[in-house]
């Protein structure tokens, strides 16, 4: 219903190289697909275009923060990136997508200790 608004925020994310500079193209696609799907789900229930735009602006800031965190994580802990990407890629439309805050929490969770 608010396709033009969603397209606008999606383009803003896709044009910002800083959000994916440490991800390869396939990894960036997974992360951006999650972000766009998340934003679409947030603005879908808006009653009108001004409400959708307001929601999109607020959620875009949260999503940008999460994407920056994923990008930094990819730079600092490269070996752990597949786990985060799998969580985003495997989220089915019928399931609740992780929110930006949940994604950031996943990135900040302590790594499990290896058993001896």
Average pLDDT value for the chain? 86
- How buried is residue 22: exposed, middle or buried, by Cβ count under 10 Å (0-12/13-18/19+)? middle
pTM for the predicted model, two decimal places? 0.81
Which pLDDT value is given to residue 102? 81
Which residue has better confidence, 113 or 45? 45
* Domain spans in the chain, listed from the N-terminal domain onward: 3-107
Over range 20-40, report the average pLDDT.
Answer: 93
Torsion-angle region of 85 (φ positive above 0: left; ψ -120 to 50: alpha; else: beta): alpha
Which pLDDT value is given to residue 84? 84
- 85-96 pLDDT, tens per residue? 888 877 655 456
Which helix (H) or strand (E) covers residue 89, if one does? helix 81-89
Measure the CA–CA gap between 12 and 5, rounded to whole angstroms.
11
């Amino acid at each position: 219903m608010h396709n033009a608004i969603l397209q606008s925020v999606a383009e803003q994310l896709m044009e910002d190289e800083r959000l994916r500079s440490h991800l390869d193209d396939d990894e960036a696609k997974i992360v951006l697909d999650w972000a766009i799907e998340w934003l679409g789900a947030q603005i879908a229930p808006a009653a009108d275009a001004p409400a959708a735009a307001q929601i999109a602006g607020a959620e875009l800031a949260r999503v940008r923060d999460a994407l920056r965190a994923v990008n930094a994580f990819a730079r600092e802990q490269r070996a752990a990136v597949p786990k985060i990407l799998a969580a985003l890629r495997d989220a089915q439309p019928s399931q609740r997508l992780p929110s930006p805050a949940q994604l950031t929490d996943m990135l900040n969770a302590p790594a499990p200790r290896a058993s001896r």
